[in-house]
Amino acid sequence: MTGCGAETACRSAAAAGRGRRGSLFAGACAPLIAVAFLILGFVAAGARATAAASPAPVRTVALLTVQFLNDHADLEPTTDAERARLKSIEALFKTRLEDSGRYRFLSIPADLSAKIAAGPVIGSCGGCAFDYGKEVGADDAAWIVVQKVSDLILNLNVYMGDVKTRRLTFIHSVDIRGNTDKSWTRGIAYLIENYLLAGP
């Protein structure tokens, strides 16, 4: 073999050796790379799941009033049973919302309650509900209105609004058939479960 031929053969052999070493290295590292990508995928998925599972901050609520509008008060004065039902649906409203883990109700000071009772009707006072809510440090102001058309037909309305933006965020109404403890309880429970707490 000539000098030139020997040199060419040596270079070819060296290149082949490097190729074999590169192939061996790639073959050995391929599983590790795959595992690394798999781990990164799990980490990313876990981070997304954690973010998705993080609960929204609990919002504080000032329930300002539970009003009763008796369309025929002159003929059928409001009864003690109806006043008791107002207190009952107020308690149920607070309990259901707090049990959801999404809301916490703040106490309304006695002097503010007296001011609300003596002032204009909540909802028709040019945004006073938001002012009252801000006064107690609440995120949301809320009020409930029960309208009695007759002993057979009543209408239950719930209003909630963001104190900071001064915008209503929830308004919904349900009809109640029958003026009984059971019908009032079913009405407020249905509104809460199917509308107020139905969203994410």
CATH number of the domain at 172, please: 3.40.50.10070
Same domain, 124 and 167: yes
CB 79 within 8 A of CB 95: no
Same domain, 75 and 171: yes
- Mean pLDDT, range 87-99, rounded to an integer: 98
Does residue 155 surpass a pLDDT of 60? Answer: yes
| Residue 31 pLDDT | 52
Q: The tokens of 101 are what? A: 């883990």
Do 74 and 168 share a domain, yes or no? yes
What is the mean predicted confidence (pLDDT) over 51-56? 62
Give the model's pLDDT for residue 180: 97
126 lies in the same domain as 176: yes
Higher-pLDDT residue of 172 and 26 is 172
Residues 45 and 74 in one domain: no
Q: State how many domains the chain has.
A: 2
Residues 87 and 81: beta-carbon distance below 8 Å? no
Whether residue 69 sits in one domain with residue 47: no
Say yes or no: 160 and 186 in one domain: yes
| pLDDT for the residue 56 | 83
What residues make up the domain containing 86?
59-196
Domain co-membership, 83 together with 119: yes
pLDDT-based confidence at residue 53 (cuts at 50, 70, 90): low
Instruction: Report the alpha-carbon distance of residue 19 to residue 167 in Å, rounded.
Output: 71
- What percent of the chain is modeled with pLDDT above 90? 70
Task: Report residue 119 as tokens.
Answer: 């002032």
Residues contacting residue 120 through CB under 8 Å, at least 6 positions apart: 128
Q: How confident is the model at residue 30 (pLDDT cuts 50, 70, 90)?
A: low
Regarding whether 47 and 25 lie in a shared domain, the answer is yes
Residues 149, 154: Cα–Cα separation, whole Å: 5
Q: Are residues 2 and 101 in the same domain?
A: no
Confidence band of 95 (pLDDT split at 50, 70, 90): very high
102-142: per-residue pLDDT in tens?
999 999 999 999 999 999 999 999 999 999 999 999 999 99
Query: pLDDT higher for 68 or 56?
Result: 68
- pLDDT at position 199, please? 73
Beta bridge mates, 173: 157
Q: What is the pLDDT of residue 26?
A: 47
pLDDT at position 10: 41
- The mean pLDDT value for 84-89 works out to 98
| Residue 55: per-residue pLDDT | 74
Longest dimension (CA), the chain: 127
- Residues 37 and 74 placed together within one structural domain of the fold: no
The pTM assigned to this predicted structure is 0.73
